[in-house]
Structure 1
Amino acid sequence: MYFLDGERLYIKPENGCKLLESQIQSCLQQIRKINSEKRIFKLNFFVDANSKESYDAIKGKVSQEVQKQFSESILLSFFAQPPLTCKIIVEAFFYDYTLWDSEFVSNGFGCATLFRRDNTEVLVGNVQANLGGGCKENAERAFAGLAELFSEFKFPVNSIIRQWNYLEDILGFDIDKQRYQEFNDVRSGFYADNFNDTGFPAATGIGMNRGGVIIEFVALKSEKAATKPVDNPEQIAAHHYSKDVLVGEECILKTTPKFERARYLELFGKKMVFISGTASIIGENTVGVGDPEKQTEVTIKNIRRLYSPEVLDKISDENLAARYGHARVYIKKRQDFHAIKRTFKKFYGNLPVVYIIADICRNDLLVEIEGKVILE
């Protein structure tokens, strides 16, 4: 990760690997061969799993292989979000172990690595609840696991600066309650008023085929850091959405998605912006319904507003140049892949990017993009 003086790489299976097992081995072998002075601390696996049995089998098989091939403890996450061109893609995260001390912990529902440097602490981790019940039950258990990790390391709730929320069947319903809305209600209860003075984390809320609820997070405790929310003037903040775009019965109290469009971070001289999951929304309404190319264009323009000169002037007195660092592109429908990829490349060329199939948090949204911006 950039703020840990490391990097992030996307690893795809080498050509000729047809079976899932050979694709897994190919990715892990490539990671082992990377000649880096940095150390791996986290691996995300995006996998094609359409049943609980296949998801659990892949998770078990890969976990065993990682334990066999790597001596250090590594954070692992498994997302049932099929890659577009293969059965598995690995996202590898590195840090500079000469600058940061690290400590790994697991509590049954979650894992985290604590990084320490000069009275600064960064906690990176994940929690998962896949209890077989509804989204509300899984979300409550996942946030309880998060609270346990934070209690162990003495991190307050408002130390979260970036969060990823992965929901099985995000647009589905548990009886008469939409799963994404149920998650938002649980998140609102967990956050309570902890973020009143700091603004919410940057965040992504995205669907997956299996896995219950997975929450990933970056939390920060430091007197040396500066972090603040970043707004897009063309969009209503998600936490200020009206009831018109929230799903559920009128008689039911519905809470808004609690996240910022982006979040600025300055730490040990490194400056960056976490770009939340961003879609084709102007104000609070979807733009380009049914048109993947138009939605991709609007999404990218929304992202670019988050690091425009006007926005950067409000963040810092310095004359900062922005460089988009990487992107994940979530695509609702496989048939839209080529139109979305072509449009993305028109704006960002050969930027490191991974394209995966995942449901978006509204029925009429076809694409969502997230990433980071490096400021120099």
Structure 2
Amino acid sequence: MGIQIEYLSLAELKSQPLAWQNKVLGLVSFVDAAGVYEAQKINGQIPGIFLGASVLSGAESASEILLSDESSMDTKQPLISGEQGQIRYRCNGDLLFGVISLDEASELIITSPGNPFSALQQATEIAYQQIFTLLDDLGFPNVYRFWNYMANINGSDGDDQQNLERYRQFNIGRKNVFVKMGREHGQQLPAACALGLKGGPLTIAFLAGKAPAIAIENPRQVKAYNYPEQYGPRTPSFSRATLVHIEQKACLFISGTASIVGHETLHAEDITGQTQETLVNLEAVVSEANRVQGGAVFDLSNACFRVYVRHAADLDSIRETMRNHFSHQVQAVFVQADICREELLIEIEATLQQTSIAHAA
């Protein structure tokens, strides 16, 4: 079975008929305080994360929905919903989408004074170990995409020996499990993002499948897993994008992308410069994916973007810079969130699809 991706408002999501809901693998949605209550009316069989964050613009695209596309199949195969540990998931014969939320005050976390490992590192290790155990148990060996959200990403708790920034604590936990579970394949790491919200548990969504994937890197950037030690004792475990063929479609899952060249942040305190550099990096990733694919398969100008904005006051500048870059209004949702480096003001992610592999040059 293939995959179809749609972007809807929360109201549109709630109003979809049951036949449509029965095709949903999972979703990632941003909602305000009132939206959290409304989200409870969504079909409970659908694994989804509803993240409390201010949607600054583009509320009509605030929910990214991944659906099982049965158009190429002679017979329809129903989705199977399940739970394992703290994970809720849905899968068909080819794809699995799952979500897990783990509070750092959970009884699973050891908070004794002598424990050198922070609550966030422990929560990360527990969550990722559960994820990879599930995928091994159900036979979905390839992860295409992770979405990671946590509170106070640039802060430090003061409860571990090194008083590390929380994003670095997260990276330690994630890397430890990748290595332990035999997932640290270097050249074949999945796409990912990691963003900071005002509060809430560590929340992770993931998409995995049986078809192999190709990790895509940005020629303008050092691979994240090769970052120097100045960015923390454990490097981030992700690639810049993942290219995968699912049935008759090529899909490109682009990681959260920011104003980084080599491994250094550029245009500090300059939102226009950071936005422009981020768009250049996105174009570089798409160009590399098209090179690997062997033709102009993906076109960034047709993408729906999720734009994470540190300061709401920067919204107008970001939107104008994006309009100038693409020469037209783009589809995007702008969400207020903190980025993994304190000096970064913006991060953009996207998912691109090709209509048919047969159209590739």
**Matches of 1:141 and 1:311, distance apart in 2:** 33
Please give the per-residue CA displacement for 1:269-291, whole angstroms capped at 9, x wherever unaligned.
31122111000000011111001
Q: Residue 161 of structure 1: CA displacement?
A: 1.8
1:179 pairs with one of 148, 153, 166? 166
Q: Which secondary structure state, in structure 1, belongs to the residue aligned with residue 42 of structure 2?
A: helix
**Matches of 1:195 and 1:86, distance apart in 2:** 36
The percentage of counterpart residues that share the same residue type is 26
CA-atom RMSD in angstroms: 2.7
CA contact 2:2–2:248 (8 Å) conserved in 1: no
1:170 pairs with one of 150, 153, 160? 153
1:372 pairs with one of 345, 351, 356? 351
- The aligned residue for residue 141 of structure 1 is 126
**Matches of 1:264 and 1:147, distance apart in 2:** 20
CA 141–319 in structure 1, closer or farther in 2 if over 3 Å, else same:
closer
- The aligned residue for residue 338 of structure 2 is 359
- The aligned residue for residue 84 of structure 1 is 56
Q: Which secondary structure state, in structure 2, belongs to the residue aligned with residue 299 of structure 1?
A: helix
One-letter amino acid matched to 2:26: K
CA contact 1:200–1:259 (8 Å) conserved in 2: yes
Q: Which secondary structure state, in structure 1, belongs to the residue aligned with residue 200 of structure 2?
A: coil
Q: Residue 373 of structure 1: CA displacement?
A: 2.7
Please give the per-residue CA displacement for 1:226-245, whole angstroms capped at 9, x wherever unaligned.
52111111100110000123
Please give the per-residue CA displacement for 1:81-101, whole angstroms capped at 9, x wherever unaligned.
211159994333333245463
**Matches of 1:230 and 1:151, distance apart in 2:** 24
2:299 pairs with one of 323, 327, 331? 323
1:337 pairs with one of 292, 304, 315? 315
Q: Residue 107 of structure 1: CA displacement?
A: 2.8
Kindly report which structure 2 residues correspond to 1:206-217, keeping only aligned pairs within 5 A, or say none. Answer: 206-217=195-206
Q: Residue 47 of structure 1: CA displacement?
A: 2.4
Q: Residue 35 of structure 1: CA displacement?
A: 10
Q: Which secondary structure state, in structure 1, belongs to the residue aligned with residue 41 of structure 2?
A: helix
Kindly report which structure 2 residues correspond to 1:210-359, keeping only aligned pairs within 5 A, or say none. Answer: 210-222=199-211, 226-246=212-232, 254-308=233-287, 312-313=290-291, 315-316=292-293, 318-324=294-300, 325-348=303-326, 349-359=328-338
Kindly report which structure 2 residues correspond to 1:32-111, keeping only aligned pairs within 5 A, or say none. Answer: 32=16, 39-48=23-32, 59=36, 61-67=37-43, 73-85=45-57, 89-97=62-70, 99=73, 101=77, 102-111=79-88
Q: Residue 74 of structure 1: CA displacement?
A: 1.2
CA 66–311 in structure 1, closer or farther in 2 if over 3 Å, else same:
closer
- The aligned residue for residue 112 of structure 2 is none
CA contact 1:307–1:373 (8 Å) conserved in 2: no
Please give the per-residue CA displacement for 1:172-222, whole angstroms capped at 9, x wherever unaligned.
112012111111011111110423275110111111122221111111213
Please give the per-residue CA displacement for 1:22-51, whole angstroms capped at 9, x wherever unaligned.
xxxx4455x4279979933434331235xx
CA 337–229 in structure 1, closer or farther in 2 if over 3 Å, else same:
same
One-letter amino acid matched to 2:295: N
CA 221–90 in structure 1, closer or farther in 2 if over 3 Å, else same:
closer
**Matches of 2:320 and 2:353, distance apart in 1:** 24
CA contact 1:48–1:87 (8 Å) conserved in 2: no
CA 45–311 in structure 1, closer or farther in 2 if over 3 Å, else same:
closer
CA contact 1:162–1:201 (8 Å) conserved in 2: yes
**Matches of 1:138 and 1:259, distance apart in 2:** 19
CA contact 1:27–1:90 (8 Å) conserved in 2: no
**Matches of 2:85 and 2:35, distance apart in 1:** 19
Residue segments in structure 2 that go unaligned for 5+ positions in a row: 107-118, 355-359
CA 63–80 in structure 1, closer or farther in 2 if over 3 Å, else same:
closer
One-letter amino acid matched to 2:197: M
Residue segments in structure 1 that go unaligned for 5+ positions in a row: 13-25, 50-56, 247-253
Q: Which secondary structure state, in structure 2, belongs to the residue aligned with residue 347 of structure 1?
A: helix
One-letter amino acid matched to 1:189: N
Q: Residue 148 of structure 1: CA displacement?
A: 4.3
